[in-house]
């Protein structure tokens, strides 16, 4: 694989992960909590250039990650009224949610896209620094992940594949480690996958692969061997700072798309905490321009992802 293979002027889009299920509000005042805040932040991310807004919801009073369908409906409708971003709710959810609870947003809201997690692994956020702003439940949430397994068993993924098909929702396959690609190939062997697929390489979670160039290259090469370069589109999401922007730069260089957002990273530079999702998208837009990629919004992304003809 050539290390610099994105054609000059090739189109790139971004997804912005707005609020997250594996973070707590006390980590940053910029994390949107209520449906109105999540909608505002998603609309701001779209205005800054994001084609996809990846959404979780939180209990409005506490900020605890939630799977409440009413909250999802409010946020999805709110974003749809104000912009044409591709709305991509999570089916990953947060700590303590069952696969049934996590899947409900797909079956009930039938979104254009949703995330689809390709394997089980430890997902540790207990290393996050405790801050005075954090409520007792937040400390418990973080510390509890010493025992947390993010569950996505084979049976779960078989079922989820069927539910996505029934809903007409395009999965974004979240792969955190190379083995998750083999799990996805296994789903394809069972005829549970519709090609071309869209893969998100999520690197930097404690419990899975690190956000490093050679790991992205290895996973990309493996994915292309399994599915063919024509059989897939892909994006990279680095968790933490500077991982988010290092991975974005690698993806831009290698011909992929990018994901940024407060779900994965709270800093815009080493010295400055991000004040909004839009600020993180703006930085990605700047990086893309420096690397001669042509930025596209929701319509361009729909075209690339094959959503336009669905
Ligand atoms: N929290 C991210 C590391 C999902 O929502 O389905 C991965 C994620 C998964 O966004
Ligand atoms: Zn997510």
To test the ligand 1 pocket, which listed residue (16, 18, 21) has its Cβ within 8 A of the most ligand atoms?
A: 21
Across 68-89, average pLDDT: 98
20 in ligand 1 pocket by Cβ < 6 Å?
yes
Whether residue 132 is contained in a domain is answered as: yes
Whether residue 4 is contained in a domain is answered as: no
Q: DSSP letters of 222-236?
A: HHHHHH-GGGEEEEE
Question: What is d(CA 38, CA 306) in angstroms, rounded to the nearest whole number?
Answer: 27
- For the chain, how big is the Rg over CA atoms in Å? 18
Whether residue 187 is contained in a domain is answered as: yes
What is the band of 284 on the pLDDT scale with cuts at 50, 70, 90? very high
The alpha carbon dihedral of 104, 105, 106, 109 has a sign of positive
92 in ligand 1 pocket by Cβ < 6 Å?
yes
User: What are 141-163's pLDDT values in tens digits?
Assistant: 999 999 999 999 999 999 999 99
172 in ligand 1 pocket by Cβ < 6 Å?
no
What is the band of 4 on the pLDDT scale with cuts at 50, 70, 90? low
Q: What is the dihedral of CA 98, 104, 106, 110, to 10 degrees?
A: 180
Across 231-236, average pLDDT: 98
What are the distances in angstroms from CA 245 to CA 102, 250, 262? Answer: 29, 8, 12
Whether residue 33 is contained in a domain is answered as: yes
Ligand 1 center to 139 CA (angstroms): 20
Q: Considering only CA atoms, which residue is closest to atom 4 of ligand 1? A: 92
Query: Which ligand has the minimum distance to the alpha carbon of residue 205?
Result: 1
Question: What is d(CA 178, CA 308) in angstroms, rounded to the nearest whole number?
Answer: 30
E strand spans, 126-215: 149-150, 170-175, 197-203
Query: Which ligand has the minimum distance to the alpha carbon of residue 117?
Result: 1
Confidence (pLDDT) at 7: 83
Q: Determine what percent of the chain is predicted with pLDDT higher than 70.
A: 98
Residue 197 tokens, joined: 């697929």
What is the band of 3 on the pLDDT scale with cuts at 50, 70, 90? low
Question: What is d(CA 247, CA 86) in angstroms, rounded to the nearest whole number?
Answer: 22
Confidence (pLDDT) at 169: 98
Say if residues 4 and 107 touch (Cβ distance below 8 Å): no
Residue 187 tokens, joined: 């789903």
How many separate domains does the chain show? 1
Whether residue 1 is contained in a domain is answered as: no
Longest dimension (CA), the chain: 50
Whether residue 194 is contained in a domain is answered as: yes
Task: Look up the CATH number of the domain holding residue 220.
Answer: 3.20.20.70
Q: How many CB atoms lie within 10 A of CB 224?
A: 17
What is the band of 308 on the pLDDT scale with cuts at 50, 70, 90? confident
Say if residues 233 and 257 touch (Cβ distance below 8 Å): yes
Q: Above 70 in pLDDT, residue 186?
A: yes
Q: Considering only CA atoms, which residue is closest to atom 6 of ligand 1? A: 92
User: What are 26-76's pLDDT values in tens digits?
Assistant: 999 999 999 999 999 999 999 999 999 999 999 999 999 999 999 999 999
Question: What is d(CA 17, CA 51) in angstroms, rounded to the nearest whole number?
Answer: 11
What is the band of 6 on the pLDDT scale with cuts at 50, 70, 90? confident
Whether residue 310 is contained in a domain is answered as: no
Whether residue 45 is contained in a domain is answered as: yes
Boundaries of domain holding 189? 11-305
């Amino acid at each position: 694989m050539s290390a610099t293979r994105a054609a000059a002027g090739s189109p790139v889009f971004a997804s912005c992960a707005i609020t997250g299920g594996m973070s707590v509000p006390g980590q940053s005042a910029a994390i949107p909590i209520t449906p109105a805040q999540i909608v505002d932040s998603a609309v701001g991310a779209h205005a800054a250039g994001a084609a996809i807004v990846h959404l979780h919801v939180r209990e409005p009073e506490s900020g605890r990650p939630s799977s409440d369908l009413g909250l999802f409906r409010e946020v999805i409708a709110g974003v749809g009224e104000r912009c044409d971003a591709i709305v991509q709710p999570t089916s990953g959810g947060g700590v303590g949610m069952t696969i049934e609870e996590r899947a409900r947003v797909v079956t009930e809201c039938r979104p254009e896209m949703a995330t689809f997690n390709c394997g089980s692994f430890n997902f540790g956020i207990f290393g996050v620094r405790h801050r005075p702003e954090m409520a007792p439940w937040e400390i418990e949430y973080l510390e509890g992940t010493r025992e947390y397994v993010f569950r996505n068993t084979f049976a779960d993924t078989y079922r989820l594949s069927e539910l996505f098909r029934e809903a007409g929702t395009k999965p974004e396959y979240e792969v955190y480690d190379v083995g998750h690609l083999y799990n996805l190939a296994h789903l394809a062997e069972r005829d549970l996958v519709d090609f071309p697929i869209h893969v998100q390489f999520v690197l930097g979670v404690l419990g899975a692969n690190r956000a490093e160039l050679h790991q992205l290259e290895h996973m990309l090469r493996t994915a292309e061997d399994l599915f063919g370069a024509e059989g897939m589109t892909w994006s990279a999401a680095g968790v933490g700072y500077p991982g988010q922007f290092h991975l974005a730069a690698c993806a831009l260089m290698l011909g992929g798309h990018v994901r940024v957002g407060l779900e994965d990273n709270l800093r815009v530079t080493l010295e400055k905490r991000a004040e909004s999702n839009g600020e993180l998208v703006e930085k990605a837009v700047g990086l893309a321009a420096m690397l001669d990629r042509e930025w596209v919004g929701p319509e361009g992304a729909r075209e690339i992802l094959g959503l336009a003809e669905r």
